[in-house]
Structure 1
Amino acid sequence: MDQEKKIIEFDQGWADMQKGISKLKRLLAGEEETPFSTREYMMLYTTIYNMCIQKGAHDYSEQLYNKYKETLDEYITSTVLPSLREKNDKFMLRELVQRWLNHKVMVKWLIRFFHYLDRYFISRRSLPALNVVGMTCFRDLVYEEVHAKVKDIVLALIDKEREGEQIDRALMKNVLSIFVEIGMGEMNCYQNDFEVYLLQETTTYYSRKAAKWIEEYTCPDYLLKSEECLKKEADRVYNYLQLTTETKLIEKVQHELLAVYVTQLLENEHSGIKVLFRDEKVDDISRIYLLYNKIPQGLELVANVFKQHVTVEGTAFVQQAEDAASKQASNAPGGHEQVLIPKIIELHDKYMIYLNSCFQSHSLLYKALKEAFEVFCNKTVNGSPSAEILASYADHILRKGGSEKLGDEAIEETLEKIAKLLGYLIDKDVFAEFYRKKLTRRLLFDRTTNDDHERSILSKLKQQCGAPFTSKMEGMVTDVVLAKENQASFNEYLRNNPDVHPGVDFTATVLTTGFWPSYKSLDIILPTELVKCVEVFKGFYETKTKHRKLTWIHSLGTCHLNGKFKPKQIELIVSIYQAAVLLLFNESDRLSYSEIVAQLNLTHEDTVRLLHSLSCAKYKILNKEPSSKSISQSDTFEFNPKFTDKLRRIKVPLPPVDDRKKVVEDVDKDRRYAIDATVVRVMKSRKVLSHQQLISETVEQLSRMFKPDIKAIKKRIEELITREYMERDPDQPTMFRYLA
């Protein structure tokens, strides 16, 4: 039978443990002492083991667990705290780091000695593990006493480093790791006892610096300084702060250096964004984007300043055009679009380069540029709406003689840019109507430079505004091609039927009514020569089709007359109406105003305009009595045989008609149809809709082409109710129902 194991009394066992603990303290203090041998370690471990497995009252597990904590508390109180209390500044930090390392070593060895407690006693009782107790002792006795002072010392050193002094970064890293480790897996100690104060100090520091630098530095230098500071703060995080601090720290620096002073910086009259654009400082503009792109709402601040700057620059061009047009004292649009639109195109090119290269095509900056252009691209110049000005410029580029200096490639580029500017116009339908009027003249009077360019701009406009926008214009271009083929057939018809030849060279252009603008056609009594031409063509056309009716638009026709004057014969290029007046004088030498009116069946207004062009304007083909610069109903007229000119062929112009009024009327009419169609389309898809929703959806759909007037929409809704396309709900007057 084995002899029963000898009981170890607590005092005896603890006395043996004390010898080992004392040796551990001497080793930590750096005194001359041999390291623990395996035999010594096993002896101490076994002592604890035996004291814990004894039965009944001799199981000293609980007392040993308490002694473990007492040992650490006593060592900290007697040795660690006094050594820390007598030191300051970085010396205190070094002492703290050393004491923390020693404490971790001590806990490590004691856990080895007391290991049996961790394995059984602690787990059964659900008590804190030995490692946790070790950390808690240091936290409660050391950390709680010194962390505020340590934090102040660390912040003071960071301040010195920011001012250019060198500090011991390794020491800083070790000190701040204590704040992390003491949290035992949580970051609350680091965050609450250090980070929050670091962020406050950072805000104060950079707020002070920014206020000073904004007065001292130019915008580019200030931004360079800010960029440098941000790099240094990121470097600081990398070297000794926690990575979780980086975002918060950088945000504080960005706010104080960049967000607070954004307007002052970018609007600085000597070095701000205006000057940077003027001097083409690409690197500095790129730096603005890169710095502000990292700030919450930072780019919104930049976009606002950018938008204001571009708006001011573009508006200045419009004002210059307005001033120049006022000096000319002319209400005709001719001229200023040839200066204004190229300037706006150049401005757009310039800022698109910045947008793509410096602002990396960011949507916020693109939106700012768009909104800026929408401001000044929708202004009027001397009474001409922007849509008319842009259409006139397109006409100038596409018309013969308008772009002689430009090659095909340059014309294509310009047409592309015109289409882009159209995107900024609110009233795209007004542009379309003016453009159509000018396209008519180019096509019918053979003034277009190149059919390919005409088709090219239409494809660009279609891309910008959709197929319905260009469908009529594309029809016009096709019509002219077909009309030329038709004319060839007519010429062939005349050759085959010489007996019907009218006796004069005659060209008729057949067009499709729906594609072309509407024109006023007078019920004029045509000269017999022209009547015969009309009849011959009518006979030819009826051989081709019986289902189409020809309506003659004489206002668009031209006539070449041989004027037999005494000095020399001159070919006169005149309108059909002017020709009708002049041909009367083949039969009569002298005619009164009332006789001319009676023979031609013209209104007073039209007669005055025609007679003025032939007797009072540049070319006085008719003599008027009495002689004056205006036409009166008592005037008489006779052919002027002495008329001459240095040219052998002259075009006799008619006084210009204000097309603008007609365009506005046509657009208003088209808008009524567009509103009707949109309201019906919305109601058809939704069946039942409130008044507010119907207005809102109608506005949204129409705004792609023009800015609709709410009153006009309401008026059209009432009209559609009358015409029984829709009805009001009898129980809810603000609700509408679609009537199929």
Structure 2
Amino acid sequence: MYDKYVGYVDDCFMKDAFLQKAMREAFEVFCNIPVCGSPSAELLAGFCDSILKKGGCQLSDEATDESFEKVVKVLAYFNEKDVFAEFCRKKLARRLLFDRSANDDRENSFLTKLKQNCGGQFTAKMEGMITDLTLAKDTQTNFKNFLDSNPNLQPGIDLTVTILTTGHWPSYKSSDLNLPEEMVKCVEVFNEFFDTQKKLRKLSWIYSLGTCNVIAKFEPKTMELVASTYQAALLLLFNYADRLSYSEILNQLNLTNEDLVRLLHSLSCAKYKILIKEPNSKTISPNDDFMFNYKFTDKMKRIEIPLLPVDERTKVIEEVDKDRRYAIDAAIVRIMKSRKILGHQELVMESVEQLQRMFKPDITAIKKRIEDLITREYLERDEENPTIFKYLA
């Protein structure tokens, strides 16, 4: 549609300024209308993800570059560019952490185009994520050398750890999962290694992002199960018990009910029934009992056990709202630091002008942030004229 109407304006109307303005306004209207409850920014980020991930759109390098060029052109009409950036960051994280990126060069090409059109701040976190993955490979090499030189500190199982910088990556839920004995030793050994490398940095383990390769001995044959850390921790409980109730699993793993229901559903009600559930139904309840399914078999020797996807849209919107508050605060302080004294209307207008490259700020939100900055003593009202603000150094 963009190509079609640009062609009309350029070729049929000789790039007439009035029609260029009309086209821009029209695109701004419909590009910002949600589709089936999803923000257009989310859908555009999903399109980019389909090009960049393994098994996605099979395009040539030339066609991929052309698609990215069109994405950044259409993105110019979006009011919520920060929502697009946050969804892109979430999807990039999944591609990088689960090795689902089709091509490193394409990832870098996409970020370069976004940076050229939206500025360095737009892509700073995503570039930091890619840098983290490169540094993580060096850390893993150092960890292997550490184990080789300390034979008494063996974790017992093969362990790969990816170190991430908190500020670059989306926030993930950190739980107090009770790790099985087999995994506790791994964490202890890596912590000891990390203390020798980065004494002033603190590790926070995000088990929800981990994957494990579990050797499962079924009666028909032995198989390799590719599972999440949570799924693996649950399965290992059956090394020491033939039958476990819902409440027993909940207490031993120290998970929330929501997380445990997802785990048990994936292992007993989904495609691969590694566990047998009593009563045999398609839903999980606190009264259920579970047993290891020794008779399970599959034509494949190695299978990946999927987890039910979690709707992350609400969380992304919350993250964007939080970032917007910081961005509005920073813009107001920046303006007042240079101007020292400014009227309310002028401050609001200058704030909107600074922020609209990333999002279309709500006037009410700006007013709330001004009041908050007054409370925190960044600004003060003029005693004689309350519509004039003064900057407090």
TM-score, normalised on structure 1? Answer: 0.52
Q: Percent of aligned pairs with the same residue?
A: 65
Residue of structure 2 equivalent to 1:561: 214
Structure-2 residue corresponding to 1:397: 51
Could you list the per-position Cα deviations for residues 629-662 of structure 1 after superposition, in whole angstroms to 9, with x for gaps in the alignment? 2111121111011112222222111111110010
Structure 1 residue 481 displacement after superposition:
1.0
Please show how residues 207-606 of structure 1 align to structure 2 within 5 Å.
347-404=1-58, 406-606=59-259
Question: Within 2, Cα distance between the matches of 1:602 and 1:623?
Answer: 20
Larger relative helix fraction: 1
Matched with 2:367 is 714
User: 1:739 maps to which residue?
Assistant: 392
Alignment of 1:656-695 (within 5 A): 656-695=309-348
Length-normalised TM-score, structure 2 = 0.96
1:567 positional shift: 1.9
CA drift of 1:559 comes to 0.8
TM superposition shift of 1:618: 1.8
Aligned residues: 393
Residues 419 and 457 in structure 1, CA contact (< 8 A), matched pair in contact too: no
Deviation at 1:365, TM superposition (A): 3.1
Deviation, 1:379, is: 1.7
Radius of gyration: which is bigger?
1
- 1:498 Cα deviation from its structure 2 partner: 3.0
C-alpha deviations, 1:393-450, integer Å up to 9, x for none?
A: 101001011132x111111111121122211111001011100000001111111111
Cα displacement string for residues 650-704 of structure 1 (whole angstroms, at most 9, x for unaligned residues): 2111111110010011011111111111111111122111111111111121121
CA distance in 2, matches of 1:500, 1:357: 72
Partner of residue 353, structure 2 = 700
Asked whether the equivalents of residues 581 and 596 of structure 1 are also in contact (C-alpha less than 8 Å), the reply is yes
Q: Say if 1:570 and 1:648, in contact at 8 Å, map to a contact too.
A: yes
- Unmatched runs of 5 consecutive residues or more in structure 2: none
Q: Distance between the aligned counterparts of 1:359 and 1:559, measured in 2?
A: 61
Where do 1:162-241 residues align within 5 Å?
none
Written as runs of structure 1 = structure 2, the 5 A alignment for 1:605-684 is 605-684=258-337
User: Which residue identity does 1:382 align to in structure 2?
Assistant: C
- Measured in 1, the distance between the counterparts of 2:3 and 2:301 equals 46
Query: Equivalents in 2 of 1:736, 1:599: separation in Å?
Result: 57
Please state if 1:726 is matched with 2:379: yes
Partner letter of residue 420 of structure 1?
A: K
CA–CA separation in structure 1 for the residues paired with 2:195 and 2:354: 44
Q: Larger relative CO (CA 8 A, sep 6+): 1 or 2?
A: 2
- Aligned amino acid, residue 457 of structure 1: F
Q: Whole-Å Cα distance in 2 between the matches of residues 361 and 565 of structure 1? A: 70
Distance 2:392 2:6 in 1: 49
Greater fraction strand = 2
Q: Look up the SS of the partner of 1:499 in the other structure.
A: coil
CA apart distance, 1:619: 1.6
Which amino acid in the other structure matches residue 173 of structure 2? K
Deviations, residues 182-233 of structure 1 (Å, cap 9, x unaligned): xxxxxxxxxxxxxxxxxxxxxxxxxxxxxxxxxxxxxxxxxxxxxxxxxxxx
Secondary structure of the equivalent of 2:255? coil
What is the CA–CA distance in structure 1 between the aligned matches of 2:158 and 2:299, rounded to whole Å?
26
Return closer, same or farther for 1:729/1:652 CA change in 2, 3 Å cut-off: same
Structure 2 Cα separation of the partners of residues 563 and 364 of structure 1: 69
Deviation of the 1:717 alpha carbon? 0.9
Distance, in Å, in 2 between the alignment partners of 1:363 and 1:527 is: 68
Deviation at 1:705, TM superposition (A): 1.0
2:152 alignment partner, SS class: helix
Alignment RMSD (CA, Å): 1.4
Hey, what's the Cα distance between the residues in 2 that align with 1:716 and 1:481? 38
- Show CA shifts across 1:586-615 (max 9, x none): 111111111111111112222112111111
Q: Deviations over 1:330-379 (max 9, x none)?
A: xxxxxxxxxxxxxxxxx222333344433444443333322222222212
